[in-house]
């Protein structure tokens, strides 16, 4: 069974994923420019929020306050594009104003975002890339140093180029997927071990099966990437027979 198959489409009806915690410094920056009275910042205005962000959770910048007509502001994050959008509202559909796109603002202290928060976001959005069929995004989640795969009685290490090629040529998402009881262990400021399981099925209507799962996430160039991934029973037998 292919390890890539373990990374199945997100379960139907799952709650939207929280915004990337790495954007908290950006929210703090733009939050300083808004209040219940509005904003004096000269931000570009859009007719509407980009469609692909509508079902995403937002980051609260401020509430409307205690008086009538007060404005609240939330920030939406387009992680892949590296842009933010601020929505201003006084509580009615015709009061909504969308500002953006706005640039991401780096944290003055790179350690300000805890690695465990980043790991939770990484695992939550892993299935999002599978559901979207984004092979390039999935491949980019892996270490540029190569990735160690472990399953049953075999172990292999693939280069980033080889793994990217496999995703581009042979990866197919399963029909259903959900994480089971993931636990996070911080191994330092640069790595996190995640253990638990996955429940998945290969075809629509097929019985769901469960497998153990473990992944080692390491920081490379400021981003978390997969250095080791394990699933049982053996997840990539087509490689173990080579």
Q: Looking at 70, 85, 103, which one is the last position of a domain?
A: 103
- 118 & 97 share domain: no
Does 128 lie in the same domain as 67?
no
User: 27 is in which domain, residue-wise?
Assistant: 21-103
- The answer on pLDDT for 189 being more than 90 is no
Please compute the mean of the pLDDT values over residues 28-56 and round it to a whole number.
Answer: 92
Q: Which two tokens stand for residue 68?
A: 């009538």
8 shares its domain with 125: yes
Of 25, 41, 45, 42, whose CA–CA distance to 33 is shortest?
A: 41
Q: What is the pLDDT of residues 8-30, one digit of tens each?
A: 333 334 456 666 787 888 898 99
Q: How far apart are CA 231 and CA 242, in angstroms?
A: 19
CA angle 2, 194, 232 (to 5 degrees): 30
Please give the model's pTM, rounded to 2 decimal places: 0.65
User: Measuring CA to CA, how many Å separate 33 from each of 18, 61, 101?
Assistant: 23, 9, 15
> Is a pLDDT exceeding 60 seen at residue 42?
yes
**Do 46 and 145 fall into the same domain?**
no
Instruction: Output 152 or 69, whichever has higher pLDDT.
Output: 69
Q: Minimal CA–CA distance to 182: which of 119, 96, 99, 110? A: 119
Shared domain check, 161 and 233:
yes
State whether 38 and 126 are in the same domain.
no
Dist CA 127 CA 7 (whole Å): 6
What digits encode the pLDDT tens for the residues 76-96?
Answer: 999 888 899 999 999 898 999
Tell me the chain's radius of gyration from C-alpha atoms.
21
Tens of pLDDT along 129-167? 777 778 888 899 999 999 999 877 778 899 999 999 988
175 has pLDDT over 50: yes
Decide the pairing of beta strands 97-103 and 83-89.
antiparallel
Whether the upstream peptide bond of residue 72 has omega within 30° of 0, thus cis, is no
Same-domain pairing of 93 and 118: no
CATH label of the domain that carries residue 9: 3.10.450.50
DSSP codes joined into one string, 70-132: --EEEEEEETTTTEEEEEEESSSGGG-EEEEEEE----SSGGGS-HHHHHHHHHHHHHHHHHT
Q: How many independent structural domains does the chain possess?
A: 2
- Taking alpha carbons only, the member of 210, 207, 212, 211 closest to residue 195 is 212
Q: Answer with the residue of higher pLDDT: 198 or 131.
A: 198
Whether residue 119 sits in one domain with residue 72: no
Of 103, 123, 139, which one is at a domain's C-terminal end? Answer: 103
- C-alpha 188: how far from chain center: 21
Pseudo-torsion of CA 143, 8, 201, 183, nearest 10°? 70
User: Does residue 55 contact residue 16 with C-beta atoms inside 8 Å?
Assistant: yes
């Amino acid at each position: 069974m292919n390890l890539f198959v373990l990374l199945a489409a997100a379960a139907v009806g799952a709650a939207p994923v929280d915004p990337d915690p790495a954007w908290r410094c950006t929210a703090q920056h733009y939050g300083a420019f808004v209040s219940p009275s509005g904003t004096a910042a000269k931000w570009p205005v859009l007719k509407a929020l980009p469609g692909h962000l509508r079902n995403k959770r937002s980051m609260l910048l401020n509430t409307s306050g205690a008086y009538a007509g007060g404005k609240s502001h939330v920030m939406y994050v387009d992680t892949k594009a590296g842009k933010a959008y601020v929505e201003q509202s006084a509580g009615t559909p015709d009061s909504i104003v969308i500002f953006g796109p706005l640039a991401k603002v780096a944290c003055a202290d790179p350690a300000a975002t805890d690695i465990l928060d980043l790991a939770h976001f990484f695992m939550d959005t892993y299935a999002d890339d599978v559901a979207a069929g984004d092979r390039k995004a999935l491949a980019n989640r892996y270490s540029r140093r190569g990735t160690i795969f472990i399953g049953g009685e075999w172990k292999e290490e693939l280069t980033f180029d080889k793994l990217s090629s496999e995703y581009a040529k042979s990866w197919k998402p399963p029909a259903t997927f959900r994480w089971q009881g993931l636990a996070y262990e911080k191994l330092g400021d640069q790595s996190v071990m995640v253990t638990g399981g996955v429940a998945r099925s290969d075809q629509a209507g097929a019985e769901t099966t469960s497998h153990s799962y473990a992944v080692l996430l390491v920081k490379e160039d400021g981003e978390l990437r997969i250095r080791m991934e394990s699933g049982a029973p053996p997840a990539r037998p087509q490689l173990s027979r080579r």
